[in-house]
Structure 1
């Protein structure tokens, strides 16, 4: 019975994450909101920034809520907040209201759901943690592939505010129905796994408090920030970039945004698999290099194919961040406290969510509509990231040598 149940929970978790992955389709809303309300690009992108800024903060709060209320209640609460945030976004009249509705309320719902669906699914698959976690996280990354074109159709038919309301009701309904099937593994299974994990753990387990005292944490956290900047800039601005730089129609741009979701989801699985073969830090360097190549492609793009290559390289590298950093965190600070430790590392997403979209908005406003300055700035950030990876790799090697000497 449990074997069938875990596959049901995996499937349900993937579908729920597809729904909240709608957040990555923000760029198809950005331009209509600017047109309807006269907002600047930086004002519009701030809603997306706040949404992703709140996400990891909500993830940290999800743990205590689960201990008190259980996984099902927290997922259902997240579904209510997500749907409500979108529905209320369809009632806004000022830019500050959408910062609260889409940014704060919907973002909190996403964080609660994402934290539970990924961590709970991994617990159901102790022998295939990477596969279960990758597929569940991949659902979140793939959401825009499905919902960006859908959102464009709703916007065309109902206007941007009507689209928010309709999608909010749909997503809330789906998550509330499917969330009923979410359940934690039996306590006996969790205890057995905890015992096994404890037996296999080395003395490398570090508490969150002690982790925050290490230089390694701040290097890893810095890499998380840098790894998110380019991806979030493109995710938040892909539709306007395509329309401005290549002359795409809104429908064509939405098609491109959908491929961002596919690349994002694929990157989460593929880069994690590659890292098992060539190492975490070597993989990170490859990711930042390919992201940089994508930025160069966008700088020179004049047509759809090169535009697609550029955004997909960047999105796949961004997706890889979420495939790699749980393992990087575990490699450096152990498995025992991974959930809380990774939640703290994930706060780097909040900083990247602020910097990336704002770089694009700044570039557009300074250059009169071109994104080329943004591509140059973020290319420099990727080069700096590669240098930081080399530093992290050297620190990690010294750390391993010290452990080997002690034993």
Structure 2
């Protein structure tokens, strides 16, 4: 089997991943570094400033339901373009912020734009361009994940220039996002089908025979495709039926918990460790190690997802997260803290990718746009993590309990994933009287 990637497919993958890298660097990765300067100039308190993170994260999660609607009606290229224009507007508004309402509105606009330019359109492209989807998603996640590394460096680089302030930084980022978006949509447009409304693909071409819908009692007519001991459905499950399965609910729970652990550890771990007597440089260094491991493990996990069942990757990642959060809660020993950094880094770098691949393997690609979006919407709940952690800190005097709670939740979801089996139509509840989905068709024009 050839592993050569056609230039057009590869360039589209790199373009989308690079745009997400720049977007992540310009928003989540930059805001925490810029905020101290904004707080000092605008005389805010940290509760007011930190709420902007909550607005950004919550809107990003809720707005994950928007890209499928736009992609089905306008096409993925135009969806990315709209997202880029909104992101540029939000970042430019940050440049002119003088009050808290302006700050929150700008953060909300950036949050609305984020899912239109990030993993949802990227997964849509990958599922239609590549047969080795796990590997391609791993490459995309590795590139985009570098945003967490370069974001702070971009802030410090601009502020190091004479006469440059945080307002200049947001202005430059707005222009950079706009230019990157224009280049990205041009490259995406090289494939005509990505310029057309994606709802067209839900209608079978007239030249191809339409197979009858598969009912639960007819499963034997559509045996699942298997390869390398990896389950891959032969049925494109409809959105409603797939969302009723326990497998979808478990994957959504794993994705949501991973996001909650990520934002909570990122926002609270440094303060927690400093309170326990760990030097600032060590506390910050552990967070940097975690971020680096998360970036590096994504590409490796993507390759493994085409060799081993991604369910095992999710199980391993949740177990690593469980250990990492427990160590963070219970110890301040510098050597032991490496287990926290490595464990959470593996968990954060693997869980989202493996859940995305499992969603494709279990339910097919035709309705994956809606299913993946629904899974991403649960990420809005993750914005509550830092808030709950703050309340626990105010009540108990320590952050330890929030990290122990996340460790226990990770253990619970780990057990659910460990014993999870692939979804089979005959196992659906008797009350489900809808067709499971469309019979599998040959996916043409896929790059290996």
Structure 2 partner of 1:133: 137
Structure 1 partner of 2:123: 118
Distance 2:381 2:140 in 1: 24
Distance 2:23 2:304 in 1: 27
Find the residue that maps to 1:74 and give its secondary structure: helix
Matches within 5 A, 1:201-350: 202=233, 205-237=236-268, 246-248=278-280, 259-274=289-304, 279-299=309-329, 300-301=331-332, 310-350=340-380
Distance 1:77 1:48 in 2: 22
CA displacement 1:35-58 (0-9 Å, x = unmatched): 444545444333223323333444
Verify the 8 A CA contact 1:78 1:110 in the aligned structure 2.
Answer: yes
CA displacement 1:246-276 (0-9 Å, x = unmatched): 4437xx9887765554333333333444456
2:102 to 97, 102, 111: 97
2:191 to 185, 188, 199: 185
Give the structure with higher Rg (CA). Answer: 2
Find the residue that maps to 2:146 and give its secondary structure: helix
Verify the 8 A CA contact 1:145 1:259 in the aligned structure 2.
Answer: no
Residues 360 and 44 of structure 1: CA distance in aligned 2, closer, same or farther (over 3 Å): farther
2:6 to 3, 8, 14: 3
Residues 202 and 297 of structure 1: CA distance in aligned 2, closer, same or farther (over 3 Å): closer
Structure 2 partner of 1:14: 17
Residue 108 of structure 1: how far off its partner (Å): 1.9
Residues 287 and 4 of structure 1: CA distance in aligned 2, closer, same or farther (over 3 Å): closer
Find the residue that maps to 1:180 and give its secondary structure: helix
Distance 1:149 1:310 in 2: 24
Residue 105 of structure 1: how far off its partner (Å): 0.9
Matches within 5 A, 1:61-76: 61-76=66-81
Verify the 8 A CA contact 1:271 1:320 in the aligned structure 2.
Answer: yes
Structure 2 partner of 1:172: 178
Distance 1:232 1:335 in 2: 29
**Which segments of 5 or more consecutive residues in structure 2 lack a partner in the other structure?**
212-221, 226-231, 429-448
Distance 1:398 1:171 in 2: 41
Distance 2:256 2:141 in 1: 19
Residues 285 and 348 of structure 1: CA distance in aligned 2, closer, same or farther (over 3 Å): same
Verify the 8 A CA contact 2:159 2:165 in the aligned structure 1.
Answer: yes
Residue 129 of structure 1: how far off its partner (Å): 1.8
Residue 106 of structure 1: how far off its partner (Å): 1.0
**Which segments of 5 or more consecutive residues in structure 1 lack a partner in the other structure?**
none
CA displacement 1:352-399 (0-9 Å, x = unmatched): 1x122223433554567xxxx334322322223322332344352796
Distance 2:325 2:41 in 1: 30
Q: How many residues align?
A: 389
Distance 2:394 2:46 in 1: 8
2:166 to 160, 182, 198: 160
CA RMSD across the alignment? 3.7
Residue 86 of structure 1: how far off its partner (Å): 1.6
Normalising by structure 2, report the TM-score: 0.73
2:385 to 352, 356, 359: 356
Verify the 8 A CA contact 1:242 1:307 in the aligned structure 2.
Answer: no
Distance 2:337 2:176 in 1: 32
Q: Which moved more, 1:227-236 or 1:359-368?
A: 359-368
Task: Say whether 1:150 aligns with 2:150.
Answer: no
Residue 325 of structure 1: how far off its partner (Å): 1.0
Distance 1:106 1:397 in 2: 37
Distance 1:13 1:139 in 2: 10
Higher normalized helix content (fraction of residues): 1
Structure 2 partner of 1:109: 113
Verify the 8 A CA contact 2:141 2:298 in the aligned structure 1.
Answer: yes
Residue 88 of structure 1: how far off its partner (Å): 0.9
Find the residue that maps to 1:230 and give its secondary structure: helix
Q: Which moved more, 1:252-261 or 1:213-222?
A: 252-261
Distance 2:357 2:183 in 1: 32
Residue 18 of structure 1: how far off its partner (Å): 1.2
